[in-house]
Amino acid sequence: MSAVPNNANTAGFSTMSPPAPQATAERARFNPKYLPLAATISLFVAMATLGSVLYTGFFSAQVFLNLLIDNAFLIIVAVGMTFVILSGGIDLSVGSVVALTTMVLAALVEHRGWNPIVAIPLVLLMGTAFGAFMGFLIERFRLQPFIVTLAGMFLARGLCYLISIDSISITHEGYSELAQWRLPLWEGASLSLGALIAIGVLLVALFVAHCTPFGRSVYAVGGSEHSAVLMGLPVRRTLIGVYTLSGFCSALAGVVFTFYMLSGYGLHAVGMELDAIAAVVIGGTLLTGGVGYVAGTLFGVLMLGIIQTLISFDGTLSSWWTRIVVGVLLFAFCLLQRLLSRRSGKAR
């Protein structure tokens, strides 16, 4: 009788012990979905190292902080675009909303004499409502996001020229002080107000994407809207919410853009929607939705910034080389995403 328990115990031990190292190996194995993000960060580090070796003064705190200062508005726009693309959509109106925000804000402050404390919340509300309206049309009537946001792009850009066909300079004393304010850091380095706002938006977006029901719903809807419906997730609210968030981010980026340019103009931010999409894709977010990283978007924007910085330090190359390099990077990252999705499909 004693042989039976011994055999049973031995059999139990032999069945349970092998999966332990296998499970450990599975956990230790690098997840391929993080490969685009790892590639972006590695490439950014490599470019920063190359610039430090080739050019005197490149490796300084202020040069790297200038990447945040000069691209603060693009970071904010790209954060909103990240949520839209994660949900499986696209927003082509962001650049035009930035321009419209600068025009309305400049007209209110300069021509109407409004206090910026009143004018800024108004333009933020305007951008939020504009995004919510597009989200409502997309969700309610099942329209293609490409067409709806393309219409929004033309509408917002056209409204700029109803206000003025010329640039409107912002000469308000308090506004100029806000634009020129700097937060002193170490070794003479400093950060602008716009850069601080961009950092704040990024931190809030990280929390929303990974620690809130809304963020989890965005990922679920982008992965499979049908599955999200079956899971009982608020798909309708989520779809409207991502475009509302994108509209708010675009308007906030417009405010930051006025800090940077101290003017409103209908030709501001032309092509910014393409820069934002490029930054999001280079940052590792899939255009099909469901997979992506807000932190990756930051490195996508910084990648665009460091390319421009390297070209300006070189001094012999045309600024159009920035577009050429970004185009090559986009081709490379699209191919990488395609290979990864094909591999994951085979694994399933």
The rounded distance, in Å, linking the Cα atoms of 132 and 249 is: 12
Alpha-carbon distance 57 to 60, whole Å?
6
What integer pLDDT is reported at residue 336 of this predicted model? Answer: 81
Biggest distance spanned by C-alpha atoms of the chain? 99
pLDDT tens-digit profile of 279-295? 999 999 998 899 999 99
- Counting runs of H as helices and runs of E as strands, what totals does the chain give? 16, 4
Q: Is 263 helix (H, G, I), strand (E, B) or coil?
A: strand
Share of the chain above pLDDT 70, in %: 89
* Domain 32-343 class, CATH top level: mainly alpha
Q: Tell me the percentage of the chain whose pLDDT exceeds 90.
A: 75
How many CB atoms lie under 10 A from the CB of residue 24?
Answer: 10
pLDDT at 135: 98
What pLDDT shows up at residue 30? Answer: 59
66-93 pLDDT per residue, tens? 999 999 999 999 999 999 999 999 999 9
Return the DSSP state at 107: I
215 vs 221: CA distance, rounded Å: 10
**Cβ(293)–Cβ(284) below 8 Å:** yes
Buried b (16+ CB within 10 A) or exposed e, 141-167: eeeebeebbbebbeebbebbeebeeee
pLDDT in tens, 119-171: 999 999 999 999 999 999 999 999 999 999 999 999 999 999 999 999 999 99
pLDDT > 50? residue 198: yes
CA–CA separation, 136 vs 142, rounded Å? Answer: 9
Nearest in space to 81 (alpha carbons), one of 96, 91, 71: 91
Sorted by sequence, the CB contacts under 8 Å of residue 255 that are 6+ apart come out as: 101, 105, 120, 123, 124
Tokens of 240: 């409207």
Name the more confident of 18 and 300.
Answer: 300
pLDDT of residue 317: 80
Query: Is there a contact between 69 and 189 (Cβ–Cβ < 8 Å)?
Result: no
Between 26 and 320, residue with greater pLDDT: 320
CB 254 within 8 A of CB 156: no
Beta strand segments in the chain, E: 168-169, 182-184, 190-192, 263-264
Dump pLDDT digits (tens) for 249-305.
999 999 999 999 999 999 999 999 999 999 999 999 998 899 999 999 999 999 999
What's the whole-number mean pLDDT along residues 304-329?
A: 89
DSSP structural state of residue 29: S
